[in-house]
């Protein structure tokens, strides 16, 4: 069997992306894709576990069960939409929902109940992708650069792949050089959090609210002073580093809410552009995927900051920008089934290539 389902639920906490991918040919084909939004209960529970609080073990386990049921629903709807049966699918590659990422302490927690997911779907599940890399001294993240290299590298062009999810991460694909990849800082996470707090909306559509304000220079300088931005790769981050309290500690008393939003957009754009300049040099093309590709204001600001670098969505090279990460976890699961490594040590800092993930048989 060569069909694998990829499931990705990222730091944006909006829902789960599901894809069905056929690996029977050298160039994998995506046969179907869908997005299933999280219920308000799942989203609140996940947000509530981002910091230490009462009865965490029980709440984490209950959320893991709820997530598994949500993932199973996404798989069932995906298979129905593509007219496939569970017995035709080799495995599900499921990232799980990150609630802690502490590579410096040797752990990263992605909530899921893969045994329950296998039981509900009658399909083998491959999960817990990060632990093996962490055990080998790596960051456990980012893991998608290996897929980016296999999919987007061009021997005649220096490319950088930018995924703008809650966190933004980069993969440097420079012909003749080792692949590099790292998290460069907040992508949509702070923009979404501030929008929800001030407007009661999940996100700033097209970046219009940010575009209506003006960046606050003092605030931007304070945010960019965060040590993470200057740290050398390999590095990875998440809500542990960048969150609403982190922002609020740096606010003054008189900023207009829309100007704060404009500042956060500038933070994302400038931190991305600076990371490319510092660690990737001068690529010819920036290929963008993830939800941030739909933020027109952010995309235009990146084009301004990057000058001659062509900034386009991954759709331009045949990979729909909304599904790249889910396809990556299908690819990682396929690698696991073949007994092949899924990490890039030069990206994560691990001691060497490792086969990733734990298999929960159907």
- Same domain for 305 and 343, yes or no, is no
Q: Are residues 34 and 126 in the same domain?
A: yes
The per-residue pLDDT for range 283-331, each reduced to its tens digit, is: 999 999 999 999 999 999 999 999 999 999 999 999 999 999 999 999 9
pLDDT for 51: 80
**Scanning the structure block, which residue is given the tokens 């509900």?**
120
Q: Is residue 250 part of a domain?
A: yes
**DSSP assignment string, 67-80:** HHHHHHHHHHHHHH
**Torsional class of 18: left (φ above 0), alpha (ψ -120 to 50), beta (otherwise):** beta
What is the token pair recorded at 343? Answer: 């990490």
The alpha carbon of residue 308 and the mean position of all alpha carbons in its chain are separated, in whole angstroms, by: 27
Per-residue pLDDT, 346: 94
Answer yes or no: do 28 and 41 share one domain: yes
Contact of 192 with 12, CB cutoff 8 Å: yes
Average pLDDT estimate for 36-62: 92
**What is the separation, in whole angstroms, between the first and last Cα of the chain?**
14
pLDDT of residue 26: 85
Is 191 in the same domain as 52?
no
Assess whether the previous peptide bond of 234 is cis (omega < 30° from 0). yes
148 domain-assigned: no
Do 239 and 339 fall into the same domain?
A: no
Residue 149 lies in a domain: no
SS3 250: coil
On whether both 309 and 327 belong to a single domain, the answer is no
pLDDT class for 15, splitting at 50, 70, 90?
A: very high
Looking only at the bridges linking them, the beta strands covering 358-360 and 180-186 are unpaired
What pLDDT is stored for residue 189 in this prediction? 95
Residue 280 makes CB contacts below 8 A (sequence gap 6+) with 160, 170, 172, 174, 180
Longest dimension (CA), the chain: 60
Residues 136 and 158 occupy one common structural domain: no
Residue identified by tokens 């005649």 is 156
Bridge partners for 37 per DSSP = 15
Instruction: Report the domain count for the chain.
Output: 2
- Are 81 and 127 contained in the same domain? yes
Domain co-membership, 167 together with 311: yes
CATH code, 183: 3.30.420.40
Is 53 a residue whose pLDDT tops 90? no
Taking a C-beta distance cutoff of 8 angstroms, is the pair 243, 276 a contact? Answer: no
**Do 269 and 287 lie in a common domain?**
yes
Task: Give CA separation, 343 vs 27, 55, 238, in Å.
Answer: 20, 34, 19
Whether 173 and 118 map to the same domain: the answer is no
Dihedral Cα 60, 292, 285, 323, nearest 10 deg: 60
Q: How confident is the model at residue 27 (pLDDT cuts 50, 70, 90)?
A: confident
Tell me the pTM: 0.94
- Domain annotation covers residue 244: yes
User: Is the residue at 41 inside a domain?
Assistant: yes
Higher-pLDDT residue of 27, 191: 191
Q: What is the mean pLDDT of residues 139-150?
A: 95
CA distance linking residue 227 with residue 243, whole number of Å: 15
Residue 86 lies inside a defined structural domain of this protein: yes
The radius of gyration of the chain's CA atoms, rounded to the nearest angstrom, is 19
Positive or negative: CA dihedral 48, 49, 54, 59: positive
Q: Residue 208: what are its φ and ψ, rounded to 5°? A: -65, -40
* 243 contacts 99 by C-beta, under 8 angstroms: no
d(CA 18, CA 333): 14
Domain encompassing residue 251: 154-317
Domain identity same for 311 and 334:
no
pLDDT at 52 over 90: no
Asked whether residue 227 is domain-assigned, the answer is yes
Which tokens sit at 265? 């957009």
108 within some domain = yes
């Amino acid at each position: 069997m060569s069909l694998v389902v990829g499931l990705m639920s990222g730091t944006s906490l909006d829902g789960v992306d599901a894809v069905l991918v056929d690996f029977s040919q050298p160039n994998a084909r995506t046969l179907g894709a869908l997005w299933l939004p999280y219920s308000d209960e799942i989203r609140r529970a996940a947000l509530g576990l981002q910091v230490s609080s009462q009865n965490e073990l029980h709440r984490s386990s209950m959320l893991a069960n709820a997530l598994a049921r949500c993932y199973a629903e996404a798989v069932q709807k995906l298979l129905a939409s593509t007219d496939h049966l569970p017995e035709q699918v080799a495995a599900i590659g499921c990232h799980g929902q990150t609630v802690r990422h502490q590579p410096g302490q040797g752990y990263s927690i992605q909530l899921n109940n893969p045994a329950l997911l296998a039981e509900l779907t009658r399909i083998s599940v491959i999960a817990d992708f990060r632990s093996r890399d962490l055990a080998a001294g790596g960051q456990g993240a980012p893991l998608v650069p290996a897929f980016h290299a296999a999919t987007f590298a061009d021997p005649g062009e220096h490319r950088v792949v930018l995924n703008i999810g809650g966190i933004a991460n980069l993969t440097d694909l420079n012909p003749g050089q080792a692949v590099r990849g790292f998290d460069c800082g907040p992508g949509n996470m702070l923009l979404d959090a501030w929008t929800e707090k001030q407007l009661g909306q999940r996100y700033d559509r097209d970046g219009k609210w940010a575009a209506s304000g003006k960046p606050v220079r003092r605030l931007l300088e304070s945010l960019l002073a965060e040590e993470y931005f200057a740290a050398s790769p390999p590095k990875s981050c998440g809500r542990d580093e960048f969150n609403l309290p982190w922002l609020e500690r740096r606010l003054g008393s008189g900023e207009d809410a829309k100007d704060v939003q404009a500042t956060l957009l500038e933070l994302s754009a400038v931190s991305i552009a600076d990371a490319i300049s510092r660690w990737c040099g001068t690529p010819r093309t920036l290929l963008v995927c993830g939800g941030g590709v739909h933020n027109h204001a952010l995309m235009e600001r990146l084009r301004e900051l990057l000058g001659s670098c062509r900034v386009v969505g991954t759709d331009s090279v045949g990979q729909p920008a909304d599904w790249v990460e889910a396809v990556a976890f299908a690819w990682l699961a396929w690698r696991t089934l073949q007994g092949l490594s899924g990490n890039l040590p030069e990206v994560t800092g691990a001691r060497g290539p490792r086969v990733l993930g734990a298999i929960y048989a159907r």
